[in-house]
Amino acid sequence: MKEKLIRYIRNFSGYFLLLFGIITALGISILSGILIMGVGALITVHSKKLPIKRKYKIILCLLLFISAVGLFPENTDQVKTSDPGSSKTVNANSTQNIKNKAKTSNIKIHFIDTGNSDCIFVQTEDKNLLIDAGDNDDEQRIVNYLNEQKITKINYLVSTHPDADHCGGLDAVVTNFNIDQSYVANGSSESKTYRDFIYALAAKGLTPAVPLEDTAISLDQNTQIKFYNTHATGEGNELSLVTLLESGDHKMLFMGDATEKVEKNIINLLPHDIDILKVSHHGSKSATSEQFLKTLNIDYAVIECGKNNKYNHPDQQTLDRLKNHDIKTLRTDEKGNITFTIKNSKLSYKFSETTSDKGSAPVTKDPGDEIKKQHEEAVQQSHQETQTQAEPAQQTHQQDSTTVYIPQTGSKYHSNPYCSNMKNSSAVSLTEAQNRGYEPCKKCY
């Protein structure tokens, strides 16, 4: 009787551990799951009245089976929902963890819900970056959001292009926070909204710069940003600066309102494995082309758009294209603020309610005619310099040299990274290109 009871308990605990091990392996950790399954298998086999030889055979088979299971990659993107709609955690898959040999910093990327406009805030271990600042009427909301994060300084402030739904709140950001360096798109704009931003910078003695193409700017020891489409000509969305944020093997691409034409121009300069894409132009069909999605292997797409907006953003065609490429798409009109966190190389995201627009943030003071004039001239000059490529406008980086572009194979250096005489360019200084024996391209230099 006693022996029967013990065997019964053994049997039960063996089966229980086997099952528990499988659940652990699938849901939490493969290694711990295998260990638990192994113990369960041993107990199960030992509690059976089998000849010794057969027991060993069964144990051997079980161990082989378990190690085979362990070789399969963990399910991708297991979403553990603790409170539906409010907070979700996504575990990066184990193959990705093995791949992530390059060190990744702990980073937060906030897609701030400002309706049908863009505002993205990035916190790294050392420096803060803000890309765009919504419409004019989003100023207070953005200031409130950044205050809630206890931010006092924005090291890099990026205006992707002068459209009001991107630069509207930038003047308020400049007035209310400390800014180190601001970057703007090539070309200029006569709009009052854009001028308010430039004047707010001027009032603090700051002049914006057009960044260099494909040139790294460090945010912390493992993290950097690079800009693309810095030579754009034309107007509106064509001018959009594209920002690539890289930390270890994690890559985030912020498209501004860049068009399909811009996508084509820059695609060969971009890495082809993107964790998060900030979808261009609020999900309109003018971008996020089939070719773009086919070339880039994207995990997550974020669309910044407003509820029932008059432009019908995002376009159903764009949503379909993203879906067909198995890209998990998150929208600010549905989720509110969307915050991605990279911690110990793992990517997770959560949502929070749209921030209130109540309050009275200090407004931009008129800097006076003399300062306005000086800075208009300075900005004008910085744009001209970039266009002629005589001396890039960026003052704080690469002060010593002009940047040129060299191909992977070939002997000419180019001023235009999209010059049709070249494929797969990389940026180097003019001095370096000359020292390495490159000669100027007849077409673009």
Which residues are near Zn ion by CB under 5 A? 163, 165, 237, 257
CB closer to Zn ion, 74 vs 113 = 113
Q: Which of 165, 263 has the CB closer to Zn ion?
A: 165
Distance (Å, rounded) from C-alpha 389 to C-alpha 133?
A: 29
304: left (phi over 0), alpha (psi -120 to 50) or beta: beta
- For the bound state, the minimum distance from the C-beta of residue 118 to Zn ion, rounded and expressed in Å, comes to 6
What's the min distance (Å) between Cβ of 238 and Zn ion? Answer: 9
Cβ nearer to Zn ion, comparing 240 with 394: 240
Shortest distance, CB of residue 309 to Zn ion, whole angstroms?
11
Picking from 308, 309, 311, 288, the residue whose alpha carbon sits closest to that of residue 298 is 288
**Residue 237 or 415: which CB sits closer to Zn ion?**
237
Q: Indicate the residue among 312 and 411 with the shorter CB distance to Zn ion.
A: 312
Q: CA–CA separation, 311 vs 281, rounded Å?
A: 11
Contact (Cβ atoms closer than 8 angstroms) between residue 151 and residue 274: no
Q: Least distance in Å: CB of 162 to Zn ion?
A: 8
- Judged by DSSP in three states, 97 sits in helix
Least separation, in Å, of the C-beta of 40 and Zn ion?
56
Nearer to Zn ion, 284 or 345 (CB): 284
Q: What's the sign of the alpha-carbon dihedral 296, 300, 306, 311? A: positive
Query: Minimal distance in Å, beta carbon 161 to Zn ion?
Result: 6
- How do beta strands 250-254 and 273-278 pair? parallel
Nearest CB to Zn ion, comparing residues 190 and 369: 190
Buried b (16+ CB within 10 A) or exposed e, 412-443: bbbbbbbbeebeebebbebeebeeeebeebee
Instruction: Show the CA angle centred on residue 395, arms to residues 391 and 396, nearest 5°.
Output: 140
- Find how far residue 245's CA is from the centre of its chain: 6
- Counting every residue written for the chain, the total comes to 445
Position 247, amino acid: S
Q: DSSP H helical segments within 79-237, as ranges?
A: 94-99, 139-148, 164-167, 170-176, 192-203
Q: How far is the CB of 214 from Zn ion (least distance, A)?
A: 22
Q: Which CB sits closer to Zn ion, 118 or 214?
A: 118
Least Å distance, CB 133 to Zn ion, is: 12
Q: Which two tokens stand for residue 114?
A: 């400002």
As a whole number of angstroms, the distance between CA 246 and CA 222 comes to 8
CB 213 within 8 A of CB 194: no
* Shortest distance (Å) from residue 308 CB to Zn ion: 17
